[in-house]
Amino acid sequence: MEQQNYNTEVYSANFKTGNRTYFINLLEAKNRAKYVRITESRKVSDTEFQKNRIMLFQNDMVKLAKVLNLAVSKIKSSEVKDEQLPLDETGEDTQTATDNETQDKSVPEDQDTESQKYPNSGKKWTREDEEKLEFLFKAGKTVDDLTEIFGRKQKGIESRLEKLGLIEK
């Protein structure tokens, strides 16, 4: 019997570097969960390609983005001259060296890290967020998991769980 593909492509992009091409696909599964499929295709002979794939689900994408942002910031801070400029989807430079020099004036690292780690801290909870929180909590997610998923501090997650009657003080 033929297997039906229930995945819908939401976004797709690719870029080439040397003998490798990277394909990034954002897909939506039948259950509406979104995930990213990253494929590296490397030419190993005139007619043969080797492919490697990684699939990241919704909750893992936030973690990956944080780790990649940290890695990129470490790379940027270690470069002195001939900076590698960020590229857009077409592979073109997105800013000039002059732009980079003016952007070096940043927020203190501890404040920046805090706002990156908890971007939704202090923001109003939507009904949708509350429903998702309740579902994930009942599905066994820990408070630590939920802080990463929702981008909110532990106290904020616990407070909302309390308000929803899912935990007691």
pLDDT tens by residue, 122-138: 889 988 889 888 888 88
User: What count of residues does the chain have?
Assistant: 169
Q: Are residues 149 and 84 in the same domain?
A: no
pLDDT score for 98? 36
> Is 3 part of any domain?
no
SS3 label, residue 31: coil
> Is 64 part of any domain?
yes
Count of structural domains within the chain: 2
Q: Are residues 20 and 76 in the same domain?
A: yes
> Is 169 part of any domain?
no
For residue 60 the two structure tokens come to 């893992």
> Is 152 part of any domain?
yes
pLDDT tens for 135-163 read 888 888 889 889 888 899 999 999 999 99
Q: Are residues 23 and 96 in the same domain?
A: yes
What is the model's pTM?
Answer: 0.42
User: What average pLDDT does this structure show over 73-88?
Assistant: 60
DSSP 158: H
> Is 1 part of any domain?
no
Question: Which string of DSSP letters, residue by residue, matches 78-105?
Answer: H--SS----B-TTS-BSS-HHHHHHHT-
Q: Are residues 100 and 145 in the same domain?
A: no
Q: Are residues 68 and 140 in the same domain?
A: no
Domain enclosing residue 79, as ranges: 8-105
Q: Are residues 63 and 28 in the same domain?
A: yes
Asked which of 105, 127, 148 is the last residue of a domain, the reply is: 105
